[in-house]
């Protein structure tokens, strides 16, 4: 009887990849496209805000530190709150009911942030921050819900690739942010000649509003399809205890033959509360691993994204603010963002998509943290040389983005959606993601201060980020490999599937043994030492 009760779950694990899986990837992925666009498009317009509302600051475009931190960090604070709230609600009310709320909130707040009008600059900044907080609140809900829904729809053979593909839409969102800023700024620059300074300032005021408001479009296009998605079978069967409805829903959308007269599934997992002694005994190490690695990753990742314009300016990759107009500066920053997205961010995401179910989550995360640390240390040690050689700086800087995305930025999103029982899955993913956003807030306010041109501590910021990534490497050993197993095997939700053998924690994929993995790490260290020793000015230029 227990085997029959789990027919709907085993059918999901064994289901062939089909059109509905790709539909679910697009529906969930467009949420992440919108998330990335809304969170990172602010980087293209902060200097423009400085020129419009604080025109007497030097250098031109420099926002006061407290204003810059608020504008860039308030959405992250909202995201943290949204991840905790919607993650919990996703387990209590169901994934589908809460999913539409997050997208609606994102769409409305994308519009209203662009309507931040007031008679004085303080009013504009306060209103902008208010709507960006609630925009972040909606974005926060998208993390646990999209991850949980995709993991519960997917089969165990390609689950990692599906989850990675959803998250990879962030790369296209960052690219879209740069492209929209390029197009809008180019359109306005065409009519800039012959205008007075006051007229140009009025034109520029429209630019940042249009760029931010564009984020409502992908949210609106996806809303209908989110409403059409059925509840996931795992939630219906294991949490709502209605296996008959779960079988009917999945038979319809996945075109698999599942018996519908199964009644209620009786899970053999003992009932316990979240964060209880029993929960911590079974899942405490996993939760510590997912929260700590996501926290450390986001300190570095969001610092790099939110303050890349300061780094580009410091090495001369974009011209100094005093040599260009306000809209032209937006264009230059956007073009730099587009290039980084195309050559490192997007390729990194899609390398994860294609390789994660082959080499596993653990190895990708470990290698990603390792190389992020390495390239950051190189930039730190050779800082004076690379500061004068902007192209060299950008190349190594781009490598850190590549290995963030072909590494922990993808795996920290994927693993929490696989490790925990269905009734805690959304909540635990939300907790893990919220710790990540706490790291992002630390990066936005801490590393942002060090990256401030007036402070002149860019080298110190890079050193801190390098050590942060090294800590992420260490904490990765708390996270087990989840590749190739069903969600019920990993979490031990049913004794028939959760035997001691199936619950065994394997850090390495099956085709790697410990000795071989250690040798590969040693060879990598030797190779990196050779590369580092060859990074003299003459050899680098050659």
Over residues 27-41, the pLDDT tens digits come to 888 888 998 899 888
Where is average pLDDT lowest: 103-117, 284-298, 321-335? 321-335
Where is average pLDDT lowest: 106-110, 248-252, 465-469? 248-252
Q: Is the pLDDT of residue 343 over 90?
A: no
CB 481 within 8 A of CB 509: yes
Tokens representing residue 427 in the block: 């909540």
pLDDT at 167: 92
Could you tell me which residues come within 8 angstroms of residue 502 by beta carbon, excluding any fewer than 6 positions away? 485, 489, 492
CB 346 within 8 A of CB 446: no
CB 358 within 8 A of CB 415: no
pLDDT at 336: 79
Across the range 151-172, mean pLDDT stands at 91
Which residue in this structure is represented by tokens 């990540």? 436
User: Residue 305's closest CA among 405, 215, 385?
Assistant: 405
DSSP 8-state class, residue 341: I
Q: What is the reported pTM?
A: 0.83
Where is average pLDDT lowest: 6-20, 233-247, 508-522? 508-522
pLDDT at 529: 56
pLDDT at 51: 84
Across the range 131-138, mean pLDDT stands at 94
Q: What is the CATH number of domain 2-263+283-511?
A: 1.20.1250.20
φ, ψ at 492 (rounded to 5°)? 70, 35
Which range, 369-373, 482-486, 487-491, 520-524, has the best average confidence (pLDDT)?
369-373
**How does pLDDT run across 49-107, given as a tens digit for each residue?**
888 888 877 777 778 888 888 888 899 899 999 999 999 999 999 888 888 889 899 99
φ, ψ at 154 (rounded to 5°)? -75, 160
pLDDT at 518: 52
Q: Is the pLDDT of residue 501 over 50?
A: no
* Distance separating alpha carbons of residues 466 and 462, to the nearest angstrom: 6
pLDDT range class, residue 2, cuts 50, 70, 90: very low
Which residue in this structure is represented by tokens 């795992």? 234
Q: Other C-beta atoms within 10 Å of 117: how many?
A: 11
* Distance separating alpha carbons of residues 356 and 410, to the nearest angstrom: 10
* Distance separating alpha carbons of residues 219 and 103, to the nearest angstrom: 6
Which residue in this structure is represented by tokens 């064994």? 14
Tokens representing residue 297 in the block: 């990753």
pLDDT at 358: 92
Domain residue extents for the chain: 2-263+283-511, 512-542
**How does pLDDT run across 373-389, given as a tens digit for each residue?**
998 888 888 777 766 66
* Distance separating alpha carbons of residues 316 and 144, to the nearest angstrom: 39
Which residue in this structure is represented by tokens 């169901």? 94
Which range, 194-203, 474-483, 512-521, 527-536, has the best average confidence (pLDDT)?
474-483
Could you tell me which residues come within 8 angstroms of residue 321 by beta carbon, excluding any fewer than 6 positions away? 47, 59, 60, 61, 62, 313, 329
Tokens representing residue 456 in the block: 């002149």
């Amino acid at each position: 009887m227990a085997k029959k009760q789990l027919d709907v779950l085993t059918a999901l694990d064994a289901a062939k990849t089909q059109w509905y899986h790709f539909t679910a990837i697009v529906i969930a992925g467009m949420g992440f496209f919108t998330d990335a666009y809304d969170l990172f498009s602010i980087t293209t317009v902060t200097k423009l805000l400085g020129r419009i509302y604080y025109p007497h600051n030097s250098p031109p475009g420099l926002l006061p530190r407290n204003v810059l931190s608020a504008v860039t960090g308030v959405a992250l604070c909202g995201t943290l709150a949204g991840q905790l709230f919607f993650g919990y609600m996703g387990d209590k009310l169901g994934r589908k009911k809460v999913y539409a709320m997050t997208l609606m909130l994102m769409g409305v707040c994308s519009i209203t942030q662009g309507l931040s009008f007031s008679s004085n600059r303080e009013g504009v900044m306060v209103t902008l921050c208010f709507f960006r907080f609630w925009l972040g609140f909606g974005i926060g809900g998208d993390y646990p819900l999209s991850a949980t829904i995709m993991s519960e729809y997917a089969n165990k053979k390609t689950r990692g690739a599906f989850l990675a593909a959803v998250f990879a839409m962030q790369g296209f969102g960052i690219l879209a942010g740069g492209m929209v800023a390029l197009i809008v700024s180019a359109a306005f620059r065409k009519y800039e000649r012959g205008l007075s300074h006051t007229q140009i300032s009025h034109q520029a005021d429209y630019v940042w509003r249009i760029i931010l408001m564009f984020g409502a479009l992908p949210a609106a296009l996806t809303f209908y399809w989110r409403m059409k998605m059925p509840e996931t079978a795992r939630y219906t069967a294991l949490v709502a205890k209605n296996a008959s409805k779960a079988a009917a829903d999945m038979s319809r959308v996945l075109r698999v033959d599942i018996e519908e007269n199964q009644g209620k599934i009786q899970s053999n997992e003992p009932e316990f509360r979240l964060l209880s002694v029993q929960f911590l005994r079974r899942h405490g190490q996993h939760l510590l691993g997912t929260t700590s690695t996501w926290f450390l990753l986001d300190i570095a990742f969001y610092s790099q994204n939110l303050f890349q314009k300061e780094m580009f300016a410091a090495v001369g990759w974009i011209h100094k603010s005093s040599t260009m107009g306000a809209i032209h500066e937006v264009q230059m920053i956007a073009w730099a963002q587009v290039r980084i997205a195309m050559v490192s961010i997007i390729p990194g995401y899609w390398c994860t998509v294609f390789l994660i179910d082959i080499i596993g989550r653990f190895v990708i995360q470990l290698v990603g943290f390792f190389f992020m640390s390495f390239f950051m240390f190189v930039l730190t040690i050779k800082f004076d040389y690379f500061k004068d050689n902007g192209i060299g700086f950008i190349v190594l800087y781009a490598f850190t983005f590549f290995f963030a995305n072909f590494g922990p930025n993808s795996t920290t999103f994927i693993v929490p959606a696989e490790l925990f029982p269905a009734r805690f899955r959304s909540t635990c993913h939300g907790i893990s993601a919220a710790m990540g956003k706490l790291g992002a807030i630390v990066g936005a306010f801490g590393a942002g201060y060090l990256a401030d041109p007036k402070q002149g501590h860019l080298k110190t910021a890079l050193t801190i980020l390098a050590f942060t990534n090294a800590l992420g490497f260490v904490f990765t050993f708390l996270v087990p490999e989840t590749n190739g197993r069903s969600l019920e095997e990993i979490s031990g939700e049913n004794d028939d599937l959760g035997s001691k053998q199936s619950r065994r924690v394997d850090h390495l994929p099956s085709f790697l043994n410990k000795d071989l993995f250690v040798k590969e790490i040693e060879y990598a260290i030797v190779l990196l030492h050779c590369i580092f020793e060859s990074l003299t000015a003459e050899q680098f230029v050659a």
